[in-house]
Amino acid sequence: MQDAAKCPVAHGANTEAAGGNAAWWPKALNLGILHQHDTKTNPLGADFDYRKELEKLDISALKRDMHALMTESQPWWPADWGHYGGLMIRMAWHSAGTYRITDGRGGAGTGNQRFAPLNSFPDNANLDKARRLLWPIKRKYGNRVSWADLMILAGTIAYESMGLKTFGFSFGRPDIWHPEEDIYWGSETKWLAPSDQRYADLNDASTMESPLAAVQMGLIYVNPEGVNGVSDPLKTAAHVRETFARMAMNDEETVALTAGGHTVGKAHGNGSAARLGPAPEAADITEQGLGWMNHTTRAIGRDTVTSGIEGAWTTHPTKWDNGYFTLLFGYEWELKKSPAGASQWEPIDIKEEDKPVDVEDPSIRYNPMMTDADMAMIKDPAYRKISERFHKDPAYFDDVFARAWFKLTHRDLGPKQRYYGPDVPKEDLIWQDPVASGPAKYDVSALKSRIDASGLTTQELVATAWDSARTYRGSDMRGGANGARIRLAPQRTWQGNEPERLNKVLAVLEPIAKEFGASVADTIVLAGYVGVERAAKAAGAPLDLPFTAGRGDATAEQTDVASFAPLEPIHDAFRNWLKEDYVVSPEELMLDRAQLMGFTAPEATVLLGGLRAIGVNHGGSKHGVFTAREGALTRDFFTTLTDMRFVWEPAGENLYNLRDRQTGKVEHTATRVDLVFGSNSILRSYAEVYAQDDSSQKLVQDFAAAWVKIMNAGFYPAR
């Protein structure tokens, strides 16, 4: 029956995502990204502690079950050559491979691959089946293991099952319960749109739209047929280098991961993609979540269609060996067409015994194949040199790959203190940003008193603590005040940290830390506490902020300087600073930063207003300092912002005057990030709360809670 013929029914809720009314407010900020993963979406309840559940997990039993699963082929989705290893590795890889070092978003840490749009990326075709195959194990172990952990464990166990000595594995990834809404996947509106939509210049890989790590929406890495579907291994090499660098991988890791990923398993392009049904989230209810079904052929085994390319890369695709390089260097390769019509490279005059056998019938052999990215491993001079070493020294290749796989699958897990399980490597790796625990037995009260008497101003104390902590990113749990890396290169010279002021403050605090036997990291945080407590006292609302000692001081040797470059602030709305004028509006930049730091909209509101009242603007500017009592933690920012006595008028680029309507006098100046709290309807509703006469105490308490939250972010005290 057509919709027009169906009975009408009252239907008031906006129940389809496409039916939202946000388009009515084209300039609206998406404040929803600050409130994603709310406890109301979590069926496990607010008191659920995944770490405690992990302690109940029989890890040995789980690993045995996972090993058994690899070779228990299911008729509804049979395993290639009787082994699910390739499928499970691809699932883990594509979950982890969404990580971007630019903003730390993506990665394996949340199990986001279960949800749209990621589960419907063409590159992820049929990975929904891998998760369904894992379901009996998830069902058995329940809340003791998360989907996020299980998907990565499946890939790691798969490699072990095929003969690789893996580097290690950590549990500790709690699940989310709806898609990550903060990740920007690109400007395309169509799957696999031409790559030039993401590049200013396709000949310059570095011009790919930031912060992405994929050439097209729907592909995790690069186009296997070449840049924009045109074979050119050298050009593809440049794009591979760029996309892998955006995932924090160097050349050696890139070659190892490419080769190791293609040592096992196969690509499935034995048929036309046009025969496939809709993607998981676009399918009808009978197949939703199990998309890309093919009802025109058997659709399984040798008839599986997952991509355009078809075939295995190596002679023995269920075995970890050096076969990838053996074939790559052992034959000349020519361009051919797959059964699906995709361009792929196949060997010339290959020996029969070097051909991989059919996934169902071992009496049938086929040519192996290579993608444009594989050919890049021997056509690009730097990649070729690395490939030659791996070919000659398989043991070295094994080690580099095992370490790179561990890095790929753990890059966004955060500090090592969050790692859990018997297989956590003892070795500290520089990409983990290791920080040893610091002293915790010193006299905190005495240290605070000494800081208070040091001669440093409230603004100097608060600004330095803030600058040390604000690098924190909840996306990959990097940065933050732990480690006191603000005293090291490159952070010490970042423009946003006001090097001259920073050097003055550190020259005072570092000797004090030494005197009391405390870490510099703790001392910087305590200095901020002293400043905030001064400001609260000046406002008539004394505070005693809760403090946990034990932060450590990182060394330069523990600091991966290159990977810290993306953490440099180029803007900080909370200190009313922009490094340059950007295409993106200051208020959008503020929203992005607030989300990365883990603030809700009310927290961001009270922090910004409170910091304005304290007077910690970058460079001492007075924009947004709507108070005659600078240094006191008052409501003045909010009362002025909501006072209709003032008219707002543009006064320059990102500059506004607040003029008294009666006298005509300009009493204050402001920037966009100040005024948005009075203009955006949602943010204004929070500002009005703090502007009320009965909110003085509330403002101080809420500010204190948000302040402690960011000072502790990324710090995991020794248990």
Nearest to 468 by CA among 444, 497, 505, 440: 497
Residue 468: other Cβ atoms inside 10 A? 29
Q: What is the DSSP string of 115-140?
A: STTGGG-GGGTTHHHHHHHHHHHHHH
Give the C-alpha separation, 236 to 164, whole Å: 28
CA atoms within 13 A on the CB side of 56: 10
Nearest to 123 by CA among 192, 23, 76, 32: 192
Q: Backbone dihedral region of 280: left (phi > 0), alpha (psi from -120 to 50 degrees) or beta?
A: alpha
Give all strands (DSSP E) within 216-330, no chain letters: 266-267, 311-312
Considering the candidates 11, 35, 37, 94, report the single residue annotated as catalytic: 94
Q: Is 380 exposed, middle or buried (0-12, 13-18, 19+ CB in 10 A)?
A: buried
* Alpha-helix runs per DSSP H in 568-622: 586-597, 601-614
Q: Which residues contact 360 (CB under 8 A, 6 or more apart)?
A: 78, 301, 302
Q: Is 660 exposed, middle or buried (0-12, 13-18, 19+ CB in 10 A)?
A: middle
- Find tokens 């972010």 and name the residue: 713
Residue 324: other Cβ atoms inside 10 A? 26
**Per-residue b or e along 140-164, where b marks 16 or more CB atoms closer than 10 Å to that residue's CB:** ebebbbbbbbbbbbbbbbbbbbbeb
- Phi and psi (nearest 5°) for 4? -65, -25
User: Can 618 be counted among the known catalytic residues?
Assistant: no
CA atoms within 13 A on the CB side of 496: 24
Residues 226 and 370: beta-carbon distance below 8 Å: no
- Phi and psi (nearest 5°) for 525? -65, -45
Give the C-alpha separation, 57 to 174, whole Å: 14
List, by residue number, the catalytic residues. 94
